A and B are shown apart, each in its own frame.
Chain A
Amino acid sequence: MTVARWGDVATYAVLAVLGAFFALPFLWLISLAVRTPAEVYLGASRFIPQAPTLDNFRLILSDPAFLIYLWNGLKLSASGGLVAVALAIPAAYAASRLNFRGKQAILVGILAVQMISPLVILLPLYRWMVALGLLNSDLAVIAVYGALGMPLAVWLLKVTFDGVPIELEEAAAIDGASRFTTLWRITLPLARPGIASAFILAMVMNWSQFLIPFILLERDGDWPISVAIFNFAGATNASTTQVLAAACIIAVLPAVMVFVALQRMIVSALMAGAVKG
């Protein structure tokens, strides 16, 4: 065997070890979720259950509250992602196309605020929301999601806009289009993959967000799934592990599916941001 072939063997050996580590939690979760309570107590010997069942999923999905949690999660993350992208587009466009003093400072500032823990800004925001009567309102959560998602969206969109040929905009300008028309009719349609990536990323992050809805939404019926499963876990015990596993799969699956389906597009957007940022 050549050196390169030995290298291939080593490559697969490393992948096998790491692959086992990354796959185990998913596989175990699925295994638990299709077990009967009796088989949960049999541990690894029933990794593939003898009597697989979908009862645990049926139990979760027949609970109307759970469907509401899923809907709340989708509604809040999608709206928050939209707000983040809408806020980011003008700034990203200016950063990409205009030359002005302080541009670098603003870009660095936008990068720097991402270092701030949401927990830090939530303390005053919670009090403001109470004062404004916005506690327990979706609007409060969506606004905070928009603010938290905006910085990354600005960076991703700036890189996207940088990739749109400026000649197209110049041609539109010569034809008498205003800058706004140019952005709306030329740049944004061409930047669609980047915009979609920024939106999906913001949405997936919002889906995972626990702290913001946990604090700003006090009513059970308003909770997104991320908060609901935390609460649900507190109410389960060893005899209902399989139900919790099914609930976790239902909470995790939408984000994982969307991300896996669109990962090529999102990863290339992120990679462009990583190298140029």
Chain B
Amino acid sequence: MTIINRTTDRGPAPGDGHPLPWLVPAIAILAAFYAVPVLDVLRLAFSDASLLAPASRYSTDAIGGVLADPALPVVLGTTLVFTLANVAALQLAGLCIALVIARGERRGLRGMAAFRTLVLAAWVVPGIANGLVWQMLFDEAPYGTLNSLLGYVGLGPVAWLSDPQMAMASAVIANLWQGTAFSMIVFYAARRAIDPTLYEVAELDAATPWQMFRYITLPLMRRLIAVNTVLVTVQTLNTFDSILALTGGGPGRATEVLALFTFNTVFYNLDLAGGSVLAVLLFAIGMGCALLVHYVIGRERPAA
């Protein structure tokens, strides 16, 4: 009798049980704050809504208007350059730092933790503050940081923010300073997960450091590099607060990326319908990247 009761009254065995009650909060949030808003943005893109007035009728006018806007190709070009430059720079810097720190730690060199901390500290600086700080560094007056430093070595003042091409480079530098930590963490984790005996064997075979990197490190990190590329692309695509504080998108539209353009369209021009079209575009590009990461993970791990 007691034995029977104990078996029926005991707690659920691990692995069974109804998942739904546990998942309700997360699914409700996903629906209310992600799925439905995305659908609503889609609806707004077909409307004539402004930020102040609701939609009164539905048409493709807003879409036509956005696509006919001569600013759009400029903005997309800017976005492409900004994103590609950052994805390359962030990952190269992140990989370089991760491998250098990993090597320093294996050799018992001092200062590795301090350096990692420095890179991480830049990561948690708010985007707006990042823009403001780099604005001070790029100050084009003779007493501006970089220009006065360049003055010491006899190099002329650089038009960091007022020259359109230089402004793009400056925006990439500012973003590189802040964003490198993410790739560093991912690559550092990936490097540490590699079995050290592989390197020991390679050493016995008198492999050069470059050969070890080329034939051990790189192939084993390939999957994470692929995933990280996509994550960093999306992060960069969605970045705009640091650019807003650094250049405001200028000079002209030289640094006005798609996210900033969307923000300006909605919250300065109050054009909600047009902004929604741009937001759908931003969403579509981001989701395309998300599908890509899914595909990459799926292909590289056929067993899972």
Q: Interface residues, chain A, CB within 8 Å of chain B?
A: 4, 7-8, 11-12, 14-15, 18-19, 21-26, 28-29, 32, 40-45, 86-88, 90-91, 93-94, 97-100, 103, 106, 108-113, 115-121, 123-127, 143-144, 146-148, 150, 154, 166, 169-170, 172-174, 176-179, 181-182, 204, 207-211, 215, 226-227, 229-230, 233, 238, 241, 244-245, 248, 251-252, 255-256, 259-260, 263, 267, 270-272, 274-275
Contacts and interface: CB of A to CB of B under 8 A. Distances in A.
Contact of A87 (B25, B147, B262): B25
Contact of A274 (B30, B185, B245): B185
Given A94-B19, A169-B14, A267-B120, A275 B193 contact: yes
B161 interface: no
B62 to A, nearest CB: 13
Given A148-B33, A150-B26, 15 more contacts: A7-B107, A8-B109, A24-B145, A26-B122, A28-B136, A86-B25, A99-B16, A120-B279, A123-B41, A126-B51, A150-B29, A173-B12, A241-B136, A256-B121, A274-B224
A117 B236 CA distance: 10
A151 B262 CA distance: 24
Interface residues of B, number: 107
B120 A173 contact: no
B127 A210 contact: yes
Interface in B231-249: 234, 237-238, 240-241, 244-245
Contact of B177 (A21, A148, A177, A248): A21
Nearest to A154: B26
In the complex, which of the residues A43, A86, A127 has the most CB atoms of chain B within 10 Å of its own CB atom?
A43
Contacts of B279: 117, 119-120, 123
B80 interface: no
23 contacts: A11-B104, A18-B115, A25-B134, A28-B145, A43-B142, A91-B22, A94-B22, A97-B15, A98-B22, A113-B30, A115-B290, A123-B37, A124-B37, A146-B29, A147-B32, A176-B11, A179-B11, A238-B141, A251-B129, A259-B121, A259-B123, A270-B185, A275-B190
Q: Is the interface of B mostly helix, strand, loop or mixed?
A: helix
A90 B125 contact: no
B216 interface: no
A88 B26 contact: yes
